[in-house]
Structure 1
Amino acid sequence: PQLWVISPLVNIENMSSQVESGVLLEKVGRVGVITMNRPKVLNALNLTMIRQIYPQLKKWDGDSETDMVIIKGTGGKAFCAGGDIRADTGKAGSSLSEIFFREEYILNNAIGTCRKPYIAIIDGITMGGGVGLSVHGRFRVATEKTMFAMPETAIGLFPDVGGGHFLPRLRGKLGLFLALTGFRLKGRDVMRAGVATHFVESKKVPEMENELVDLKSPSTENISKLLDSYQDQSQLDAEKPFVLESHISDIDRLFSSSSVEGIVGNLRADGSEFANKQLETLSKMSPTSLKITHKQLQYGASLSLQDVLVMEYRLSQACMRGCDFYEGVRAVLVDKDQNPKWNPSSLEEVSDQSVEKCFSSLGQKDLIL
């Protein structure tokens, strides 16, 4: 969670005059290349960047001169560590959170529906908003530097940017486990979990990019073969088992419940070291966020990406109306005391009715895709 980035979002009125190149958009041969370019803040995604990427992606997608799109980050530490959200986003009188989430989710959908092969090179920290820029694309290449997490329940939010679509589609209850606990996956494990499609050592990435640009017939199949060949050359950590391998059956058993209280009950009754560790983690999270997230993944398992994003937009606005998000940002990012005072403070106090209300239509303000 501490990798969520906080800095002032650009004032919308005079944005055009102060656009920095937070994202570089270029054409290399017949390949559209998007480079996240804010290394000092771990390439955090802000509204300016969303407004640069979206029209360019749509143009490349409909353009006969473009064969594929590659997205990557600069600085060597992060692909994109999350959304750039400041503490007062969405407080009374601010429409910024409405706009930010709306435009971010529209971009996530454009990536998910992109007809051209879309290749995300997730070399480094990939969290929250960075997951939304990568996971819905056709190819996601992890390296030994990749660190993936959806840590939103720790700041009073939920794993958005389409998390309700891809997380329940991971094997068994793995997605729910990652969503509730914010567990961090690293390197090859990001691929083993099913979040990335390939694992390539980071020193081989520049050569791989050059070969992608040089592909004479860049069909999905040929791109897939090329990425497979780079994965075959990458033996780093190949002998190490998946970090959660010995716990997969525990996760499936312990996280199978129709309620968060049920999961907590399972963990308590189990009493193993692994179960106790997850209990401790969950006890620090926003109870409201945990309940919203559980239902989000339950619903999302049978919805299209578009319907999930519409649902998540409703949830984002419910979180902006509540108090846990501001308290989470304060505790994790502003005061950094890591001691949020959640309200309600226990799962029992979060009523099913209040959770259900978060999913209700916003009428004319609903997200339209």
Structure 2
Amino acid sequence: MDRSTTHGMPIPDLKSSCTYRRPTPPPPPPRPFSSGPATRELTIRTRFSFARPPTPSAAGRHLPSFPPLLPRTPPPFLRRPFSPRVPIPNHARSRDPGAQSLMAQQQTSPEEVVLGQETGSARVITLNRPRQLNGISDRVVYLIAQFLEKWEKDDNAKLVIFKGAGRAFSAGGDLKMFYEGKSDDSCLEVVYRMYWLCYHIHTYKKTTVALVNGLVMGGGAAMVAPLKFAVVTEKTIFATPEASVGLHTDCSFSYIHSRLPGYLGEYLALTGARLNAKEMISAGLATHFVSSEKLEELEKRLLNLDSGDESAVRAVIEEFSTDVQPDEDSVLNKLSTINKCFSAETVEDIIKAFESEASIDGNQWVAPVLKGLRKSSPTALKITLRSIREGRKQSLPECLMKEFRLTMNILRSVVNGDVYEGIRALSIDKDNAPKWNPATLEEVKNEDIDRVFQPFSPAHELQVPSDDSNRWSGKYENTVYAKTSQ
């Protein structure tokens, strides 16, 4: 992935995502994706239920009260209305029912940043910004939420598939849009909408499948990991590298990472290390491995299945899937070292423990990981570690509400402007030499970290639904944030 243009956080795309037009003639028919199980509670699928090592004593400590941060007034977001339904062009038609189904009942213009199709009882969401590696913008989040709400309420919709156009599922958010909106809070809306969307992806009521053939990072990975079925290929690469840009591991990953085997979650979040498809399956971040050359045929079979029954969907996927194990040199075969180092209570202690491992024969893999760890924002590393440690004891809604506060406070430079310095270094000037403030872990003050974690006033918190009766309430339009932006 070109981390200079996209990264692991949903970001408003007020210019490019709202005016982007795909070239004509229309692109080839998109391939579908998936979402969660038919009946969903406030938990991720069972593949995240691993035995946990004891949690360090610092986790979940009481935080002092702190005045809520009231939002500054952002300008109204530019947004196009839903595109009208368009006919299927003649050249896209085929006598093959599977081929026809890929374009059947298209619900949005092929120029739109998210495509929604309805085929029998199957529904397909296609992230459609291939030139931006399907970076997540305000409109991307808005459209996905619209489709998911509509289809969850539709008794004829039984299966929802997620996929990405081009060579990526999604490389995360477009960081340049955060940078351009840093002075006027213009990212406020997309941040709220993304966390609200994350809750509904985790708890979706229909059977869901993700077809992941390429990069899947940050906010994009948050649309894959919670789903009932996550199909990956030999081209899939996963990462959550937000700390390297001065942010924190967001979009529900304090919940997801804290439930991975051992202290693998801390390792992935702090180092930004990448996993391949085999490693994703072994870690519990994906369910099935399918060769990329078979993915299109699998999609056709799912579209023609006309069922959302989980056992039926699983049976179809398993016809195409292959059992895989991590390679011999995989980081998942080094969990004993990871657990030993990343179970330490502080980032400083983690780095010291990791440094001692670097000198041991056979641990050549440690040095480059350690180098990347040292290059990340000291403040972001401390926020990230504390967030994941607290996530071990928190429910999904609690994790999302906490992460929403963290993201809002970081983007508002409550403590420092590291996130904008990180974006500048990686995406704007591309000098890869961010000047963090403070520059060292020892200089980061505990009281500053406490400030970032302070709860907001109830009206300014993320409005997570309390039960299924008000499941789709709490939308951005009904919040105090929307009122202050008018």
TM-score normalised by structure 1 residue count: 0.93
Following the alignment from structure 2 to structure 1, what is the Cα–Cα distance between the partners of residues 268 and 164?
24
Please give the root-mean-square deviation of Cα atoms over the aligned residues, in Å: 2.0
Q: Alpha carbons of 1:303 and 1:29: their partners in 2 closer, same or farther (altered >3 Å)?
A: same
Is the helix fraction higher in 1 or 2? Answer: 1
Whole-angstrom distance in 2 between the partners of 1:249 and 1:238: 18
Note the C-alpha offset of 1:239. 8.0
Kept in 1, the 8 Å contact 2:279–2:332? The answer is no
For 2:126 and 2:266, locate their aligned partners in 1 and report how far apart those are by CA, in whole Å. Answer: 31
For residues 112-261 of structure 1, the aligned pairs below 5 Å read 112-232=202-322, 240-241=327-328, 243-261=330-348
- Counterpart of 2:162 in 1: which secondary structure? strand
- State the alpha-carbon separation in 1 of the partners of residues 378 and 302 from structure 2: 45
Q: Secondary structure at the match of 1:115?
A: coil
Residue identity matched to 2:13: L
Q: 1:166 to 1:4 in 2, by over 3 A?
A: farther
Q: 1:165 to 1:239 in 2, by over 3 A?
A: closer
Q: How does 1:225-304 map to 2 (within 5 A)?
A: 225-232=315-322, 240-241=327-328, 243-272=330-359, 273-304=364-395
Q: CA separation in 1, counterparts of 2:369 and 2:460?
A: 37
Q: Which amino acid aligns with 1:81?
A: A
Q: Which runs of 5+ in 2 are unaligned?
A: 16-75, 84-110, 465-486
Q: Which residue of 1 aligns with 2:463?
A: 368
Give 2:125's aligned residue. Answer: 34
Measured after TM superposition, the shift of residue 89 of structure 1 is 4.9
Q: In structure 2, give the amino acid aligned to 1:365.
A: H
CA displacement at 1:18 relative to structure 2: 10
Q: Offset at 1:229? A: 2.8
Partner of 1:67: 158
1:309 maps to what in 2?
400
Amino acid at match of 2:341: L
Counterpart amino acid of 2:280? Answer: V
Displacement, 1:218? 2.8
Are residues 87 and 214 of structure 1, via their aligned partners in 2, closer, same or farther at CA, if it must alter by over 3 Å? closer
SS of structure 1 residue aligned to 2:365 = helix
Change (3 A) 1:70 1:307: same
Q: Count residues with an aligned counterpart.
A: 364
Higher relative contact order structure (alpha carbons within 8 Å, sequence separation ≥ 6): 2
1:192-251 per-position Cα deviation (integer Å, ceiling 9, x unaligned): 22211111111111111122122254311221222233213xx7x758347114321100
Residue 135 of structure 2 corresponds to residue 47 of structure 1: no
Structure 1 unpaired stretches of 5+? none
Query: Which residue pairs with 1:16 in the alignment?
Result: 80
Contact 2:117 2:124 (C-alpha < 8 Å) held by counterparts: yes
Runs of 4 or more above 6 Å deviation: none
Letter in 2 for 1:70: I
Q: 1:18 to 1:113 in 2, by over 3 A?
A: closer
1:112-142 residue CA offsets vs partner (Å, 9 max, x unmatched)? 1101011111110001111122212211111
Contact 1:87 1:330 in 2 (8 A): no
Cα contact 1:2–1:332 (8 A) shared by 2: no
CA distance in 2, matches of 1:37, 1:78: 10
- After TM superposition, the score normalised by the length of structure 2 is 0.71
Alignment check: 8 A CA contact 1:151 1:182 kept: yes
Is the counterpart of residue 356 in structure 1 residue 450 in structure 2? yes
Distance in 2 between residues matched to 1:253 and 1:14, nearest whole Å: 49
Deviations 1:177-202 (A, max 9, x none): 00000001123222122211111111
Contact 1:44-1:83 at 8 Å conserved across structures:
yes
Which structure has the larger Rg over C-alpha atoms?
Answer: 2
Give the whole-Å Cα distance in 1 for the aligned partners of 2:243 and 2:235: 24
Closer, same or farther in 2 for the Cα pair 1:214/1:357, shift >3 Å?
A: same
